C-alpha cells in the first residue's frame, strides 16, 4: 500500500489572458494553490494535474480563444484521469454555466469576485466527480488579502482598488468586476513595505481608475486621506510611497482623464521615486466619439493634462490606449484622433480595433463600421504612432539612462549578447554587458560581463533608437548589485502570505501514488 509520504504533490499551471489586473490575479491564484499544497508544474510539463485559465472578456475573440484552448486540452485530459480544468476571470464571470455546457470536461468555473474559493472548489469537484460553478455578484474579500506567489523578484503589482464606477459604452469590465471598491491606505502601504523587505525595487499601483481612489474615505473613518491639505487620496498615496526606504520606483495604471487633478501631477513631480511616466487612455481624439463613448472629457482637457505633466516633468514618457472604428466614427473623427496623437507625442500607444461586446451599449449602436474600413484606419494609426515614437526615441540617443534589468523583455538577447530592462520612464532598453567589438556588435570584453543579474541597476548610454525600443551598445557606465538581483540569482520569488478573513482552507490535496515506472505521468 502506498503511503502518503510516497505520493507526489499535485501540480498546477495557470494560463493568463488580458490586462495587468489578470496577471496579478494569477499571482494570487498561484499563491492560493501553493498554500493548499499544489506545486507549480515545470515549463515543459504538458500534463499538469490542474490547469487554470484566467480569462479576459474585453476582446471580441476572447470566447473563441478560450473554447479553442479548452478543445485542445480535452484529449490530454482524457489520457490523464484525475486531471482538472478550472476557468476563472472575466469571461467566466460573463458566461457562467455556459462554459460547462459548451465544454463539459471543465471541472470548476469561478468568477472575478471569489478567487479565494478555487482550492475548495477543486477539492469539491474531485470529491463529487461533478463540475462546480460558483459565481458571486459582489466581492467576497478584497483580492489582495489572499496569498500571492509573485512572478518577479524586482517588480510587483499592488492593487489599490477593484471594479469601476464609470459607464463607458464600449466596456464590459464594470459589469464583470463590479463597482469600485477601494483598499485602505494602511493595507496598501503594508503590502508595499512587505515587497520591499523581500527585495522588490519597483511597484505598480493598480486600479481600473486609480485617480478616483479614496472618494468614500471621508464617510468611513479615514479623515487624513480625504482631500488632506487640498490633496486627493491618490496624491497622498503616491507621496506616502515616497517615504518607504528601499522603494526605488513607483508606477501606476490606469488613470482616467476626467479625474486627473493637479495635485497628482505635483505628487508625481515632487516624489523622487515616482517614475516620470504616465499611461493615460485617450480612446479617441474626436469629441463626438468621446461623447458617444461616454468618456466625460474632451480632447482639449486631455491635451491640457499632458501639457501640465510635461511642464512639471519635461522628460516624462506618456503612453495611451486608442480605439479605432467605434460605431459612428467618421473619417473626420479619425483624422482628429491622428491630430491628437501628433500633438500629444506619445512614447508608445496600445491600439485596438473596436470590438463589439454583447451587453454593452455600443454593441447595439447604429453606425457599426465595416471591417475593411476599421482595418484601413487602424493601419494608418499604427503608421502615425510609430513615426512619432521613433522620433521621440531618437531624441534620447547619446543620453545616459538608468535601467532596471528585467527577464523576458528581450527576445533576441541571447543571440545579440545584450540584456534588457526598463528605463525610469518605462522605455525598453537593450544594453550590452561589455565593450563593443570591432564590427560594432556588443562584445563581452567589459569588466561587467557575466556579473549583471535581473533586478540589478545599470546606467548606460543610448546608441540607437527604434520605434519600440532603445539600444545601448557601449559598455555600461555603472552597475549596482541589488537585493532583488541577489534574490533572482538565488531563484527566490517574493511571497506575500495574505489574510484569508475566514475563508475555508484545505490542506494539501490528495495526490496520485508515485509512479512505479521510470516515467512520471501527470
Binding site membership for [4Fe-4S] cluster: which residues? 19, 56, 90, 164, 168, 171
The C-alpha angle 79, 85, 86, rounded to 5 degrees, equals 180
Within a 10 A sphere around the Cβ of 52, how many other Cβ atoms? 26
The C-alpha angle 113, 115, 116, rounded to 5 degrees, equals 115
Q: Give, for 303, the enclosing helix (H) or strand (E).
A: helix 299-312
DSSP category for residue 141 = S
Phi, psi of 380 (to 5 degrees): -65, -40
Say which residues have a Cβ less than 8 Å from residue 375's Cβ, sequence separation at least 6: 353
The C-alpha angle 28, 144, 253, rounded to 5 degrees, equals 95
d(CA 190, CA 142): 15
385, 349 Cβ separation under 8 angstroms: yes
153, 200 Cβ separation under 8 angstroms: yes
Please give the biggest Cα pair distance in the chain. 76
Percent helix, strand, coil in the chain (nearest 5)?
A: 35, 20, 45
Report strand pairing: 277-279 vs 317-324: parallel
Q: What is the DSSP string of 236-282?
A: HHHHHHTTSTT--EEEEE---GGG--HHHHHHHHH-TTB-SEEE---
d(CA 203, CA 249): 6
Using the Cα atoms of residue 216, residue 141, residue 176 and residue 210 in order, give the sign of their dihedral: positive
226, 214 Cβ separation under 8 angstroms: yes
d(CA 390, CA 398): 15
**Helix 262-270 and helix 299-312, axial crossing angle in degrees, nearest 10:** 30
What is the distance, to the nearest Å, from the Cα of residue 396 to the centroid of all Cα atoms in its chain? 27
What's the residue count for the chain?
A: 522
422, 468 Cβ separation under 8 angstroms: no
Annotated binding site: 19, 56, 90, 164, 168, 171
210, 257 Cβ separation under 8 angstroms: no
Q: Which three cell numbers stand for residue 343?
A: 500633438
What is the distance, to the nearest Å, from the Cα of residue 404 to the centroid of all Cα atoms in its chain? 18
Amino acid at each position: 500500500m502506498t503511503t502518503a509520504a510516497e505520493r507526489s504533490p499535485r501540480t498546477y499551471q495557470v494560463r493568463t489572458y488580458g490586462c495587468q489586473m489578470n496577471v496579478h490575479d494569477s499571482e494570487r491564484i498561484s499563491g492560493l494553490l501553493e498554500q493548499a499544497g499544489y506545486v507549480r508544474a515545470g515549463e515543459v510539463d504538458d500534463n499538469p494535474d490542474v490547469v487554470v485559465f484566467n480569462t479576459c472578456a474585453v476582446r471580441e475573440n476572447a470566447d473563441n480563444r478560450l473554447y479553442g484552448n479548452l478543445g485542445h486540452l480535452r484529449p490530454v485530459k482524457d489520457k490523464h484521469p484525475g486531471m482538472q480544468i478550472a476557468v476563472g476571470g472575466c469571461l467566466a464571470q460573463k458566461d457562467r454555466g455556459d462554459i460547462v455546457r459548451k465544454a463539459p470536461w471543465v471541472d470548476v468555473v469561478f468568477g472575478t469576485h471569489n478567487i479565494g474559493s478555487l482550492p475548495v472548489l477543486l477539492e469539491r469537484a474531485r470529491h463529487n466527480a461533478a463540475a462546480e460553478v460558483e459565481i458571486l455578484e459582489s466581492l467576497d474579500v478584497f483580492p489582495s488579502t489572499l496569498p500571492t506567489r509573485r512572478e518577479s523578484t524586482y517588480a510587483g503589482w499592488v492593487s489599490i482598488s477593484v471594479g469601476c464606477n464609470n459607464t463607458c459604452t464600449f466596456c464590459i469590465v464594470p459589469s464583470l468586476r463590479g463597482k469600485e471598491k477601494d483598499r485602505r491606505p494602511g493595507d496598501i502601504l503594508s503590502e508595499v513595505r512587505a515587497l520591499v523587505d523581500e527585495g522588490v525595487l519597483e511597484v505598480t499601483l493598480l486600479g481600473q481608475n486609480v485617480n478616483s481612489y479614496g472618494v468614500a474615505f471621508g464617510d468611513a473613518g479615514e479623515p487624513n486621506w480625504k482631500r488632506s491639505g487640498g490633496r486627493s487620496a491618490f496624491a497622498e498615496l503616491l507621496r506616502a510611497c515616497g517615504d518607504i526606504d528601499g522603494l526605488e520606483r513607483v508606477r501606476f495604471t490606469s488613470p482616467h482623464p476626467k479625474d486627473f487633478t493637479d495635485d497628482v501631477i505635483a505628487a508625481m513631480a515632487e516624489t523622487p521615486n515616482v517614475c516620470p511616466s504616465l499611461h493615460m487612455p485617450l480612446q479617441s481624439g474626436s469629441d463626438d466619439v468621446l461623447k458617444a463613448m461616454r468618456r466625460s472629457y474632451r480632447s482639449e482637457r486631455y491635451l491640457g493634462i499632458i501639457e501640465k505633466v510635461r511642464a512639471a516633468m519635461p522628460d516624462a514618457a506618456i503612453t495611451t490606449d486608442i480605439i479605432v472604428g467605434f460605431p459612428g466614427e467618421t473619417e473626420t473623427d479619425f483624422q482628429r484622433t491622428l491630430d491628437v496623437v501628433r500633438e500629444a507625442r506619445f512614447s508608445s500607444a496600445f491600439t485596438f480595433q473596436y470590438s463589439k461586446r454583447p451587453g454593452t451599449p455600443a454593441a447595439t449602436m447604429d453606425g457599426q463600421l465595416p471591417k475593411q474600413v476599421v482595418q484601413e484606419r487602424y493601419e494608418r494609426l499604427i503608421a502615425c504612432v510609430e513615426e512619432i515614437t521613433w522620433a521621440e526615441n531618437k531624441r534620447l540617443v547619446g543620453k545616459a539612462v538608468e535601467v532596471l534589468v528585467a527577464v523576458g523583455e528581450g527576445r533576441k538577447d541571447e543571440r545579440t549578447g545584450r540584456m534588457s530592462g526598463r528605463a525610469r520612464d518605462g522605455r525598453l532598453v537593450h544594453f550590452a554587458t561589455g565593450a563593443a567589438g570591432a564590427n560594432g556588435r556588443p562584445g563581452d570584453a567589459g569588466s561587467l560581463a557575466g556579473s549583471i543579474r535581473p533586478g540589478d541597476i545599470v546606467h548606460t548610454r543610448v546608441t540607437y533608437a527604434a520605434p519600440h525600443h532603445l539600444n545601448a551598445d557601449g559598455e555600461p557606465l555603472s552597475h549596482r548589485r541589488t537585493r532583488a538581483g541577489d534574490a533572482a540569482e538565488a531563484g527566490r520569488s517574493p511571497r506575500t502570505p495574505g489574510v484569508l478573513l475566514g475563508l475555508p482552507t484545505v490542506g494539501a490535496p490528495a495526490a496520485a501514488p508515485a509512479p512505479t515506472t521510470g516515467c512520471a505521468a501527470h
